[in-house]
Amino acid sequence: MGNETENQLTEKDGWDAPGDKVVLKRKITLINGITIIVGTIIGSGIFVSPAGVFLYTKSVGSSLVIWTLSGILSTLGALCYAELGTCITRSGGDYAYLLVAFGPLVGFLRLWMALLIIRPTTQAIVALTFAQYAVKPFFPECDPPDNAARLLAAVCLCFLTAINCISTKWAMKIQDVFTLAKLTALISIILAGVWFLSTEETENFDNAWEGDYGLSNLAYAFYSGLFAFGGWNYLNFVTEELENPYKNLPRAIWIAMPMVTGIYVLVNLAYFAVVSRQDMLTSIAVAVSFGNRMFGAVAWLIPIFVALSCFGGVNGILFTSARLFSTGAQEGHLPAWFSLVHVNRQTPIPALIFTCATSILTLFSADVVALINYFSQILWLSVAACIAGLLWLRVTKPNMP
């Protein structure tokens, strides 16, 4: 890889010997790695996508199957990325792997798709969901005003960008704390759903397999399900900052992915036990509909927990996006200022600011489900190319570690 030796991060400090070049330090522990994966995956998807999956299938049974298969496919993809990440220990994830496997043109195209489509869209979706849930307690009888939600989403992006510019340690503290908050919210939903199943009649499981099984509808349902697992490869984008990546990268994936898959399937089971089919199709806040029925006077806590979950998701996406663009600039595929790192704070401030700006522009798109369908095809095409690249490297470079 062009400048790989020159740009390789050192273990001991934040300086690259040739030219005293400022680079990023290894500050990400195994626990931080797990919370990056869990915290980025559990962002908005589990709160937005249940309606999307059911919208296309119209079947409770097939929806649960799609959620399970989405988790299995994502886990298999994560294991392939674990092998790639231990062979190619550069930050940059998909971009770095495609660059090594297929050369600069493919890597360049993947980088610019991330720059203009994938990352801004992902961050806009999660930030919008944060805002919708954060203002929901103030509008209990109706949907929140659209402009208010978009303004709050923009404030969220700007605030987290400032935190990431100031300190990597602060950004990781936010990731750890808000991952705990989102796990608390989801476990509360699971426990409430289990209690409801054991004490009440549930209509949604009658004729559970009746639905629409057209190939196009199933494909779009998978897009929504796989979107909810988006983020399983995000630790690979910060490999150069991960302590002992050869051990901690696969460990973090093995711990995080089964945990998230199990939680997602159980949460959807709880949703279907409590929320009517009509509400699943019409509500933009499925977890809020669940909370209103199950938690009564304290139902307002559910949108707060969901907002905290999405807040942490925005932080994880922003953190990894800036590292991706910084790596691309080091290879000459983006303007050099993307790779600039603050001398004292060791944070990629220009890349962070650009990522924030493009995400705010994407907030003007009106339909969250349309955004999911828009970028999912590009994202999963890139994942397929990386897995093909792994097989290609095993054939062409059999001695690669």
Residue 18 has pLDDT above 60, yes or no: no
Give residue 401's pLDDT.
67
User: In this structure, is residue 378 part of a structural domain?
Assistant: yes
Tell me the residue range of the domain where 140 lies: 22-396
Q: Name 248's Cβ contacts closer than 8 Å, sequence gap at least 6.
A: 29, 30, 33, 242
Conformational region of residue 304, where left means phi above 0, alpha means psi within -120 to 50, and beta covers everything else: alpha
pLDDT of residue 375: 66
pLDDT band, residue 48 (cuts 50/70/90): low
Confidence of residue 6 (pLDDT cuts 50, 70, 90): very low
Tell me the average pLDDT across 5-26. 45
Supply the pLDDT for residue 350. 92
**In angstroms, how far is the first alpha carbon of the chain from the final one?**
16
Once rounded to an integer, what is the mean pLDDT over residues 359-371?
72
Cα–Cα nearest to 241, from 28, 54, 93, 12? 28
In a domain, 108, yes or no: yes
Angle at 313 between CA 309 and CA 315, to 5 degrees: 120
Using a 10 angstrom Cβ sphere, with 0-12 exposed, 13-18 middle and 19 or more buried, the burial of residue 361 is exposed
Residues 301-313, mean pLDDT to the nearest whole number: 83
What is the predicted pLDDT for the residue at 373?
A: 62
Angstrom distance (rounded) from CA 120 to CA 238:
18
- Average of pLDDT values for 80-105? 88
Per-residue pLDDT averaged across 51-78, rounded? 87
Judge whether 264 and 46 are in contact, CB under 8 Å: yes
Q: In the structure, what pLDDT confidence band is assigned to residue 11 with cuts at 50, 70 and 90? A: very low
Instruction: Answer whether residue 361 is part of any domain.
Output: yes
* SS3 (DSSP) at 231: coil
Taking residues 239-250, report their average pLDDT.
85
Note the pLDDT of residue 9.
34
15 in any annotated domain: no
The fraction of the chain above a pLDDT of 70, given in percent, is 89
**Under a CB-based contact definition with an 8 Å cutoff, are residues 253 and 76 in contact?**
no
- CATH number, domain of 273, equals 1.20.1740.10
Q: How confident is the model at residue 369 (pLDDT cuts 50, 70, 90)?
A: low
* The pLDDT of residue 21: 56
What is d(CA 126, CA 122) in angstroms, rounded to the nearest whole number?
6
- Residue 139 pLDDT: 79
Domain assignment present for residue 6? The answer is no
Q: Is residue 391 situated within a structural domain?
A: yes
The lowest-confidence range among 147-161, 221-235, 308-322, 358-372 is 358-372
Helix (H) or strand (E) holding 144: none
Averaged pLDDT for residues 100-128: 88
CB 343, CB 23: distance < 8 Å: no
pLDDT digits (tens, 9 = 90+) for 173-182: 888 888 888 8
3-state secondary structure of 374: helix
Which of 85-99, 194-208, 241-255, 332-346 shows the lowest per-residue confidence on average (mean pLDDT)?
194-208
Long-range contacts made by residues 48-51, C-beta under 8 angstroms, separation at least 24? 48/125, 48/129, 48/228, 48/284, 48/368, 48/369, 48/372, 49/224, 49/225, 49/227, 49/228, 49/372, 50/268, 50/271, 50/280, 50/286, 51/280, 51/281, 51/283, 51/284, 51/286, 51/369
| Inter-helix orientation angle 94-102/104-113, to 10° | 160
Return mean pLDDT, the chain. Answer: 82
- Domain assignment of residue 359, yes or no: yes
Structure-model confidence comparison of residues 349 and 49, the more confident one? 349
Q: Quote the percentage of the chain above a pLDDT of 90.
A: 18
Count how many residues are written for the chain.
401
Q: Does residue 71 belong to any structural domain of this protein?
A: yes
Give me the number of domains the chain comprises. Answer: 1
Choose between 297 and 170: higher pLDDT.
170
pLDDT at 1: 40
- Give tens-digit pLDDT for 223-243: 778 878 878 888 888 887 888
85: exposed, middle or buried (Cβ count in 10 Å: 0-12, 13-18, 19+): buried
Model confidence pLDDT, tens digit, residues 374-386:
666 777 788 889 9
